[in-house]
Amino acid sequence: MKEIVDDTIEGVKGRLSGLYGYIATSLFLFNWSNIYFLFFSQKTAEQKISSLYISFDILVNLVIPILFGFIMCALAPRINVLMKSIHKKATLEDKRLQFDNDNYIPRLQLDEELRIDEKKSTRDSLVLEIESLKETLTIATEHMESAIKAKDEVDAQKVSLMLEISKKQDELSSIDIELTALKTDYGSYQKLKDSYLNASNALMSSNLKRDEQVDILLGIIKAIIDNGYVTQEVEDLINKRIEDTGYQIPTENPLRMVPRKYQDAKSFDEAVLIGRDPEKTTLPPNPLMFDKN
């Protein structure tokens, strides 16, 4: 007897889980108000039947529920597949988030260690660069001091030469006075002329010697600049000081970043000092230029 009941229950379950089950469920959902009225209303059977007959619509209460049951039966497997797919994706996403959470702190520590190593490497590089710049600055300062010292020596010699020129000019003035006074006497004039020529030759010899000394000093300065022993700023300072004295030399500093601007030719005691291009002195190779290359 129990086996018969179990078989009956299984048969009902099989029917309800298939097309019949969806149709029955659909009919119940579309007619629940009529079913409730039929079983729980306090009216008589004739009134219930009459009321159901009036309110029953074959399209809404029968045809549409059956069609809805067919549609639900066809869509149920696909909805089940869709739900399983969504559940699978959600499960994978949850596992991925769990994996990220479990490895977040170690990964964060690794990133922090890499950043620290990078900062240390950058700091070491900057320290080396600063030390190199300090050495370069020290060498440039020494070169600048040497150039300033050489310029001071040139200035001192220039003052001495100018005093000598003034003295010679005074002598020439005196000779001119004597020459004017002795014009009537040819012999005296000839003697005065000889004295004048001797003084002029001495002055020219002195001027040539002075020019040679100036050219030597200017050649040393030109060699220092052209061999890259001084920076652009130091070169501009040296050239300005030289041009202020009335001299001007062309230079080709390999460390210069912008073209050099030359001042106009200047005059000194009504004598224009023309720009010079002295032969530069040969110097040893500049170690700064090798480091730069």
Do residues 17 and 85 share a domain? yes
Is 291 contained in some domain? no
Q: Is 108 within a domain?
A: no
pTM: 0.29
Together in a domain, 158 and 260: yes
- Banded model confidence at residue 72, pLDDT cuts 50, 70, 90: confident
276 pLDDT higher than 70:
no
Do 196 and 251 share a domain, yes or no?
yes
Same domain, 168 and 62: no
Same domain flag for 38 and 91: yes
pLDDT tens digits, residue range 97-120?
777 666 667 777 777 888 888 888
45 versus 121: the higher-pLDDT residue is: 121
pLDDT of residue 186 exceeding 70, the answer is: no
Mean pLDDT on 170-184:
79
Of the residues 53, 81, 103, the one at which a domain ends: 103
Residues 151 and 98 in one domain: no
- What DSSP letter does each residue of the chain carry, written as one string? -HHHHHHHHHHHHHHHHSHHHHHHHHHHHHTHHHHHHHHH--S-HHHHHHHHHHH--HIIIIIHHHHHHHHHHHHHHHHHHHHHHHHHHHHHHHHHHHHHHHHHHHHHHHHHHHHHHHHHHHHHHHHHHHHHHHHHHHHHHHHHHHHHHHHHHHHHHHHHHHHHHHHHHHHHHHHHHHHHHTTT-HHHHHHHHHHHHHHHHHHHHHHHHHHHHHHHHHHHHHHHHHTT-S-HHHHHHHHHHHHHTT-------TT-SSPPPPPPP-EETTEE-----PPPPP-PPPHHHHHH-
pLDDT at 130: 92
Among 128, 141, 159, which residue's Cα sits nearest to residue 269? 159
What are the pLDDT digits (tens) for 200-209?
666 666 767 7
| 273 confidence band (pLDDT: 50, 70, 90) | very low
Based on the fold, state whether residues 99 and 190 are members of the same structural domain.
no
Residue 283 pLDDT: 61
pLDDT confidence tier of residue 285, bands split at 50, 70 and 90: low
Chain segment 253-268, per-residue pLDDT in tens: 888 888 887 766 454 4
| Residues 151 and 262 occupy one common structural domain | yes
| Domain assignment of residue 125, yes or no | no
Using alpha carbons, select from 222, 226, 230 the residue that is nearest to residue 136: 230
C-alpha distances out from residue 87 to 37, 75, 81, 90, Å: 41, 18, 10, 5
Q: Tell me which of 22-26, 150-154, 288-292 is least confident.
A: 288-292
135 occurs within a structural domain: no
Kindly state whether residues 159 and 77 are assigned to the same domain.
no
Select the highest-mean-pLDDT range: 143-147, 281-285, 286-290: 143-147
- Same structural domain, 145 and 278: yes
β pairing state of 267-268 and 271-272? antiparallel
Pick the residue with more confidence: 155 or 95?
Answer: 155
What percentage of residues in the chain have a pLDDT greater than 90?
A: 0
Residue 286 confidence (pLDDT): 62
Tally of domains in the chain: 2
**Of 103, 126, 149, which one is at a domain's C-terminal end?**
103
Among 77, 103, 129, the domain-final residue is 103
**Which residue range forms the structural domain that includes residue 84?**
2-103
Q: Calculate the average pLDDT of the chain.
A: 75
User: What value does the mean pLDDT take over residues 167-189?
Assistant: 75
Give a yes or no: residue 110 inside a domain.
Answer: no
The pLDDT of 12-21, averaged and rounded, is 59
